[in-house]
């Protein structure tokens, strides 16, 4: 039986291709950006310099202090530079942290964002913003923060280390897995999710063996785009809730947490989501998608347990309380006992458990 659905396309412009970074000036011009503030992390200052050189007199300054989780102090500092230099738009070149800073500036000052992602996190495809104040991360949705244009250049992902490529790619797969059983799933999103997962699962093992393989990098980045679009269009469930809480309460690295937790949540949820299970069976070429995800993570050398990230059993009660305290959608109701079992298996790297 075909379920009822509502599908609303997000107004995204995507430019994809090896060498597409050279189209930054053209895209900035299309958006009417004449005085761009170029955003980056301190690790990607040289790349920001390349963007600046390409933009020539369309760039006014580089702000290379983007940080994980978008601290409000960083946003205030970037906003001051933008105001001081009369910036009329941002070029955010980097991973989710840099694009998150661009979104924060869009929220605060209405600056249009041209995003040039260099990881597989997918933030560029979503109207979701995040801000951290006093160690508390707040998130929300606002169409104003959606980048107006996105340039995907697989060549920019070549320096992404094998380990980060693996965990970032698994993070992207997690968006698509949860989109498959989201209450607001639709045929368009499900098709994108399946294709995105297949693209990433097929290319990530090649990338961890040879990070300079441009064909695999292209396939992975295309997969990341599709998975990011899934995140932007649907409501995430238990997996994203758990990762958000684990990251917030225990200050864990974002992508690694996703890599560990995903197979456990898939095992728990897929019995209640038969269409999602079928799509994952096709995308991963396996009869058991939860095990397929665990095997993929192991093959990629991703951490296999939360213990490897420093989590102990003693950390779990606070996490469980916070997960149970606020509602979220999920195909299966989540009891305290089920959460305890799931998290215990995730901490110790035990087999995925369906009940």
Q: Binding of ligand NAD at residue 130 (CB under 6 A)?
A: yes
Strands annotated E in the chain: 14-16, 36-39, 59-63, 89-94, 113-117, 128-133, 136-141, 149-152
Six-digit token string for 339: 């959460």
- Using CB under 6 A as the binding rule, the residues of this chain from 301 to 340 that contact ligand NAD are none
CB atoms within 10 A of CB 195: 17
* CB 151 within 8 Å of CB 15: yes
CB atoms within 10 A of CB 108: 18
Q: Binding of ligand NAD at residue 43 (CB under 6 A)?
A: yes
Q: How far is the CB of 95 from ligand NAD (least distance, A)?
A: 2
Q: How far is the CB of 353 from ligand NAD (least distance, A)?
A: 27
Those residues whose C-beta lies under 8 Å from the C-beta of residue 153, and which sit 6 or more positions away, are 17, 18, 19, 20, 21, 116
Number of residues counted as binding ligand NAD (CB under 6 A)? 28
Nearer to ligand NAD, 68 or 272 (CB): 68
Q: How far is the CB of 35 from ligand NAD (least distance, A)?
A: 24
**Rounded Cα gap, residues 260 and 308, in angstroms:** 10
Q: How far is the CB of 15 from ligand NAD (least distance, A)?
A: 17
Q: How far is the CB of 344 from ligand NAD (least distance, A)?
A: 25
Q: Binding of ligand NAD at residue 176 (CB under 6 A)?
A: no
Q: Is 67 helix (H, G, I), strand (E, B) or coil?
A: coil
Compute the 3-state secondary structure of the chain and give helix, strand, coil in percent, each to the nearest 5.
60, 10, 30
Nearer to ligand NAD, 122 or 223 (CB): 122
- Per-residue x/- marks for ligand NAD, 235-274, CB under 6 A? -------------------xx-------------------
Nearer to ligand NAD, 49 or 159 (CB): 159
Residue written as tokens 């949820």?
A: 269
* CB 202 within 8 Å of CB 296: no
Nearer to ligand NAD, 95 or 237 (CB): 95
**Rounded Cα gap, residues 334 and 348, in angstroms:** 20
Q: How far is the CB of 18 from ligand NAD (least distance, A)?
A: 14
Among 92, 101, 150, 156, binds ligand NAD (CB under 6 A): 156
Q: Binding of ligand NAD at residue 128 (CB under 6 A)?
A: yes
Six-digit token string for 72: 């409000």
Q: How far is the CB of 132 from ligand NAD (least distance, A)?
A: 9
Q: Binding of ligand NAD at residue 149 (CB under 6 A)?
A: no
**Rounded Cα gap, residues 48 and 96, in angstroms:** 15
Cβ-in-10-Å burial (0-12, 13-18, 19+) of 80 comes to exposed
CB atoms within 10 A of CB 143: 8
From the list 246, 268, 304, 299, the residue with the least C-alpha distance to 177 is 268
Pairing mode of beta strands 136-141, 128-133: antiparallel
Q: How far is the CB of 178 from ligand NAD (least distance, A)?
A: 12
Q: Binding of ligand NAD at residue 71 (CB under 6 A)?
A: no
Q: Binding of ligand NAD at residue 93 (CB under 6 A)?
A: no
- Using CB under 6 A as the binding rule, the residues of this chain from 108 to 127 that contact ligand NAD are 118-119, 121-123, 126
Interface residues with ligand NAD (CB under 6 A) are: 41, 43-44, 68-69, 94-98, 100, 118-119, 121-123, 126, 128, 130, 156-157, 159-160, 164, 168, 231, 254-255
């Amino acid at each position: 039986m075909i379920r009822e659905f509502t599908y609303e396309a997000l107004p995204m412009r995507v430019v994809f291709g090896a060498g597409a970074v050279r189209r930054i000036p053209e895209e900035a011009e299309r958006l009417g950006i004449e005085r761009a503030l170029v955003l980056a992390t301190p690790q990607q200052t040289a790349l920001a310099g390349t963007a600046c050189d390409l933009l020539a007199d369309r760039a006014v300054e580089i702000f290379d202090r983007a940080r994980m989780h978008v601290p409000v102090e960083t946003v205030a500092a970037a906003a001051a530079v933008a105001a001081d230099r009369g910036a009329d738009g941002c070029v955010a070149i980097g991973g989710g942290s840099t694009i998150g800073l661009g979104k924060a500036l869009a929220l605060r000052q209405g600056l249009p964002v041209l995003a040039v992602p260099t990881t597989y996190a997918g933030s560029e495809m979503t109207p979701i913003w995040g801000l951290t104040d006093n160690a508390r991360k707040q998130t929300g949705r606002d169409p104003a923060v959606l980048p107006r244009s996105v340039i995907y250049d697989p060549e920019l992902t070549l320096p992404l280390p094998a380990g980060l490529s693996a965990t970032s790619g698994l993070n992207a797969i997690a968006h698509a897995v949860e989109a498959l059983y989201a209450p607001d799933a639709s045929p368009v999103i499900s098709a994108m999710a399946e294709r995105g997962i297949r693209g990433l699962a097929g290319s990530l093992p090649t990338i961890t063996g040879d990070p300079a393989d441009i064909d695999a990098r292209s396939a992975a980045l295309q997969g990341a785009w599709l998975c990011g679009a899934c995140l932007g269009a649907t409501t995430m469930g238990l997996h994203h809730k758990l990762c958000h809480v684990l990251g917030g309460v225990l200050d864990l690295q974002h992508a690694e947490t996703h890599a560990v937790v995903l197979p456990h949540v898939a095992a728990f949820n897929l019995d209640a989501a038969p269409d999602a299970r079928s799509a994952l069976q096709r995308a991963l070429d396996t009869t058991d998608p939860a095990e397929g995800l665990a095997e993929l993570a192991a093959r990629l050398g991703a951490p296999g347990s939360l213990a490897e990230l420093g989590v102990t059993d003693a950390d779990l009660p606070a996490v469980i309380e916070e997960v149970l305290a606020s509602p979220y959608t999920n195909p299966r109701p989540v009891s305290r006992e089920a959460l305890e079992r799931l998290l215990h298996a995730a901490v110790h790297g035990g087999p995925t458990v369906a009940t």
